[in-house]
Structure 1
Amino acid sequence: MLSALLFDLDGTLTDTDKLHLVAIQQLLWEEDQRPFGEEDFEALCSGRANPQMCALLFPDRDLAFHRAFADRKEARFRALSNKLEPIAGLTTLLAYAQDKGIGRVVVTNAPRANADHMLGALGLQQAFASIVVAEELARAKPDPLPYLTGLQRLQANAEAAMAFEDSIPGLTAAKAANLYTVGLATSQSEATLVAAGADLVVEDFNDPRLWEVIQNWPG
C-alpha cells in the first residue's frame, strides 16, 4: 500500500518562482545593473541549491561572495513572501494522507530558514513529519540523497512512496531514488517534465488522474 508522500517545497507546495525571480532581479540590478529574465532563471536557478545557483550566476566570484549573495537573496525572498497560497488541492491531499496514515515529508533544496518561513506562511507547520533540507546533507538535488533521507525518516520503501516535484533537478533526484514521481507544471512545461522522468504531470493536486493513482496504488 502507499505509505509515504514526499514533497518538494518551492513550486510544489506553493508557486514561488516569480518571487524568487523578483528577489534575484532586484539584487542583480542593485549589484551591477545586470538584467535577468525568466529564461535566465530557468537555466541558472530553478530547482537548484544556492551553492549551485551562485556558482552559475557568479563563476568568477569567490565562495564568500556566493554565501553573502545567497543570504541576501533568501532574506529578500522571505520579505516578499509573508503570505503564500497552497497549490490547489494540496490541503485535501494532506488531509487524506493524515486520515489514511500515509507519512508526509518535505524534501527541499531551500535553506532551513526559507522552509520554516514558507510552511509558516502556508499554515502547514504541523502537516509534515520532517523537513529534509538538502543543504544540510552531503549532497543536494539532483543527487538522490535528499529523497533517500526522506524515505529513511519516514521508514518507508521507495516502492510504497510517491514524490512530487516541479523542477528538473528535483525530478532527477526523485527518479534516481526509484520513486514514482508526479510533476507539477508550475515552473516547467509538461513536455519538459516528462522528458526529465515524471511518471505523471498535473497542474495541481485536484487532478483526477492523480487521485486514481493514489486510490488504486500500486495499480
Structure 2
Amino acid sequence: MKKYILFDNDGVLVETEPLYFEASKRALKEFFNVNIQFDDYMKIMTEGNGVWVAAPSATKEEIIIARNKRDIYYQQYLKKEDIAIENVHDVLNELSKKYKMGIVTTSRRVDFEIIHENRGITDFMDFVLCVEDYARSKPHPDPYLKGLEKFNATNEEAIVIEDSQRGLIAAHSANIDCAIVYNEFTKTQDFSKAKYKISKLEDILKILD
C-alpha cells in the first residue's frame, strides 16, 4: 500500500523545462557560438550531464561565466512567464488527505524559491529536496533514496511522479514505482520502465485508488 508520494518538480508541478532549455541555448550561442539542437539537448539531460558538453573546447573559466549568465536568463524567464500547470492545487489537496508528499528536484534551491514564491504548492509538502541536498543528481538514485530516508519509508510504500527519462531512471534505480505524467517537452523520451503512464496529473488519483 502506498503511503508516500515523491514528486519531481519541473514538468510535473510547474512548466519550467522549456525555459531552462531556452536559457541554456541562449548562453551556448552567446558564449561558444553553439546552436544546440533539441534532440541533442535531451540526450545530454537524460545522461545527467551539463549542457556545456556541447562546447567541448570551452575552458572551466569560460563555462563558469556562461553558466552564471544562463542562470540569470533562466531566472528572468521564471519571473515573467506563466509556468502554472492546470489543476495542480486541486490534485495536491485531494492527495494530502491520504498521503504524505515531498518534492525531489534537480533545481537549485535559489531557482526553486523563485519558482514557488506565493504559489502555494509547497504548503502540501513535508519537505523539498533540491540539488544541493544529495551527493549525485538524477539519473542516479541518490535523490529518491534521500526522499525515502526523509520519510523513513520503504521503497514499496512510495511512488514517484516524473515526466523525464532521467527522473524515471533515478526512481527505477532506487527500486521505487514510477508514474510518468505526459509532458509535451519530454514526450519523445523512453519511458518503457515506468510502472504507470498518465496523460495528466489528475490521473494519479485513479492509480492510487
TM-score normalised by structure 1 residue count: 0.83
Q: Deviations over 1:161-182 (max 9, x none)?
A: 1101111111100011111101
Aligned to 1:21: 21
- Equivalenced residue count is 207
- Cα distance, 1:6 vs. partner? 0.5
Aligned to 1:40: 40
The 5 A counterparts of 1:11-160 are 11-45=11-45, 48=48, 52-82=49-79, 84-100=82-98, 102-120=99-117, 122-160=119-157
> In structure 2, what is the Cα distance between the partners aligned to 1:182 and 1:36?
30
Residue 10 (structure 1) aligned with residue 10 (structure 2):
yes
2:84 alignment partner AA: P
Aligned to 1:199: 195
- Computed over aligned residues only, the root mean square deviation of the Cα atoms, in angstroms, reads 2.2
Q: Deviations over 1:135-154 (max 9, x none)?
A: 44221111111101011112
Q: Deviations over 1:18-60 (max 9, x none)?
A: 2112212222222133222322321223684xxx214523333
Residue 164 (structure 1) aligned with residue 161 (structure 2):
yes
> In structure 1, what is the Cα distance between the partners aligned to 2:122 and 2:57?
39
Change (3 A) 1:58 1:122: farther
> In structure 1, what is the Cα distance between the partners aligned to 2:11 and 2:47?
9
Residue 188 (structure 1) aligned with residue 186 (structure 2):
yes
SS in 1 for 2:153: coil
- Cα distance, 1:183 vs. partner? 0.8
> In structure 2, what is the Cα distance between the partners aligned to 1:106 and 1:68?
30
> In structure 2, what is the Cα distance between the partners aligned to 1:68 and 1:128?
35
Q: Deviations over 1:56-93 (max 9, x none)?
A: 23333344433433332222111101254433332222
**Unpaired runs of at least 5, structure 1:** none
> In structure 2, what is the Cα distance between the partners aligned to 1:47 and 1:164?
19
SS in 2 for 1:99: coil
SS in 2 for 1:174: helix
